[in-house]
Amino acid sequence: MIGVENAYPMGEDLSEFERYHSLGARYISLAHNGHSQFSDSNTGEQDSVWLHNGLSELGKEAVIEMNRLGIMVDVSHPSKEAMKQMIALSKAPIIASHSSARALCDHSRNLDDEQLMLMKENGGVVQTVAFSSYLNTEKHEARAAYMKEVYQQIADSLGIEWYERSQFRSLTDDQRASFMENYPKVTQMGQELVKNRKDAPRTRECIGLRRPY
């Protein structure tokens, strides 16, 4: 099934939803890792900065349009307030395409008990996510801190500038080009380097599938 993780590229033209539907999109998230013109993102919890306090007026219209087209509303990235407003507006059940339980892991992407009950009452579906940062924050952060040092050491040995993914938006065009070229290479080298290190913090996703970028 084709989904759209972020409706931001659609701009402010609601007819774009129909175009995406004709191309095969069957579920859409109105925001991703940042607020969009349609909806606040869960990431607003990090600095308590909200753009719409849930959905914008355009976002409310988008929910109605998705209902009309038969596109499922995905709430795995929007804020809690946006999710509550989507449930109130939608005439069809909504989905959380990849979310975990807040009670098990305190991450802003995860759904708390109130949200889970709302999903139950709505008749929607919650699918889980196997990414470590949404399952065990403590283990994920320990691993991330360890690997940050490893990646920096590799970059230094190669004589290249190293940038974190969180810095991407603030980079110049040249720096972004360097990032896109070097990030997959350095992270893959780092993962291979520490694969058999006994002191390296482990997460379940480190054993088996890895996602260098």
Domain boundary assignment for the chain: 2-126, 137-206
CA–CA separation, 202 vs 51, rounded Å?
A: 37
- Tell me which of 40 and 211 has the higher pLDDT: 40
2-126, superfamily in CATH? Metal-dependent hydrolases (3.20.20.140)
- Residue 158, CA distances (Å) to 153, 172, 194 in order: 9, 21, 17
Sequence-ordered alpha helix ranges (H) in the chain: 15-22, 57-69, 80-89, 113-122, 137-158, 173-194
pLDDT higher than 60, residue 209: no
**pTM of the predicted model, to two decimals?**
0.68
pLDDT higher for 48 or 203?
48
Beginning with the edge strand found earlier in the chain, give each strand of the sheet holding 2-4 in spatial order.
2-4, 25-29, 72-74, 95-96, 125-126
Contact 105, 136 (CB under 8 A): yes
Q: Residue range 174-186: average pLDDT?
A: 90
- Helix, coil or strand: residue 10: helix
Please choose, from the candidates 118, 29, 136, the residue with its C-alpha nearest in 3D space to the C-alpha of residue 77. Answer: 29
113-146: pLDDT as tens digits: 999 999 999 999 998 777 666 566 666 677 778 8
Q: Are 29 and 4 in contact (CB under 8 A)?
A: yes
pLDDT the model gives residue 171: 86
Alpha carbon distance 18, 39 (integer Å)? 19
What are 21's two structure tokens?
């539907």
